[in-house]
Structure 1
Amino acid sequence: MLELRVAALDHPDAVLLNDEVQAWYRQVYGDGDVSLLGVAQFAAPQGVYLIGYDEHGRAVASGAWRPVDADPGDPAVRDGDAEIKRMYVVPSARGHGHARTVLAELERTAAVAGRRRAILETGTEQPDAMRLYAASGYHPMPNFGAYRNDLRSRCFCKPLAE
């Protein structure tokens, strides 16, 4: 069972999980995530940052969304988009559906906040993530934002229920 709690991006457990995923990115890709994140971007009602805790109270999963709107210089992004960020499950907790649980709650809260579409980026070295997003109803879209010209990036989108 996974207990989801809303937290701030600078919460100690969020910092720990973010540090872990950044270390993994550096190991696999040679660098960390290039997109800049600010605490206010994920503070309700603007966005949401979730931490998932296992039955022992350990922080084992995270995910977030932040609002993004159309940008004339980035035609892939639309008004009403919610960008999914920091999806991560610690290796010892994988295979229990935690990523699906986090993703579903992110989609739900983004829709409640009036966001119309979820968008996200993952990398070519993350086939499990790409399978998760495809199985969750996401479709490929043009790369956007900081990932627009990154050949290692794969971007996906999904309409959100109103």
Structure 2
Amino acid sequence: MTSAPSTPTAAALTVIQVAVSDPRVRPLLRELGDEYSARYGKDAHAELARCPDEEFTPSHGGVLLLLLERGETVAGGAFRRYDATTAELKRIWTHSAHRRRGLARRVVAELEREAVGRGYHRIHLTTGPRQPEARALYLAVGYTPLFDTEADPETIGPLPFEKHLERSPR
């Protein structure tokens, strides 16, 4: 008797903090750039490179996290300093073969926890008008849209969101 492959539990997933130069980041940036290029009709790889890598390092107020499953990069995301009390989420991504498993929610939760630990009180982010999955994710995990949700997203441009973070009681 053979059994179907099991979906890995949360315990089977590892969260690591890495530098943008870490080779395990390449799949994230490559697929993210390809997807943005397909959705928006231009080469998005240059746009991803617009933010200097050092903005995603702790010394500059940022962090880049990867979610690994059996050593393979399956999801990731980052934040950078937006202002003294606000982090800005960037590059939230789930590998196309691993979507619909709640991994993006896990990445966002890990980034929020890390942001609180670094003294941030608020998160700001923008997502593109042609990314309905991202819009739905941020609404589902408690982000407040800073735009008219009834308007055609294409007329708005980047869709801004915010979330005020609560410190966990010790």
TM tier, shorter chain? Answer: 0.7 to 0.9
The answer on 1:3 being equivalent to 2:14 is yes
The answer on 1:18 being equivalent to 2:29 is yes
What TM-score do you get using the length of structure 2 for normalisation?
Answer: 0.79
Correspondence for 1:92: 97
Runs of 4+ aligned structure 1 residues displaced above 6 Å come to none
Correspondence for 1:49: 64
Correspondence for 2:125: 120
Deviation at 1:80, TM superposition (A): 1.2
Deviation at 1:151, TM superposition (A): 3.6
Partner SS for 1:10: coil
Partner SS for 2:119: coil
Correspondence for 1:75: none
Q: 1:84 to 1:38 in 2, by over 3 A?
A: same
Correspondence for 2:140: 135
Correspondence for 2:112: 107
Unaligned runs of 5+ in 2: 1-9, 148-154
Identity of aligned residues (%): 35
Looking at secondary structure, tell me which structure has more helix per residue: 2
1:23-45 alpha-carbon deviations (Å, 9 max, x no partner): 11001102317362222211125
Q: Tell me the C-alpha RMSD between the 2 structures.
A: 1.7
Q: 1:37 aligns with which of 48, 51, 69?
A: 51
Range 45-54 or range 150-159, more displaced: 150-159
Size of the alignment, in residue pairs?
145
Unaligned runs of 5+ in 1: 70-78, 143-149
Partner Cα separation in structure 2 for residue 121 and residue 30 of structure 1: 19
Write the letter of the residue equivalent to 1:12: P
Range 124-133 or range 28-37, more displaced: 28-37
Partner SS for 2:24: helix
Partner Cα separation in structure 2 for residue 6 and residue 39 of structure 1: 14
Q: Specify which structure has the bigger relative contact order, considering alpha-carbon pairs within 8 angstroms and separated by 6 or more residues.
A: 1
Deviation at 1:15, TM superposition (A): 2.4
Range 83-92 or range 15-24, more displaced: 15-24
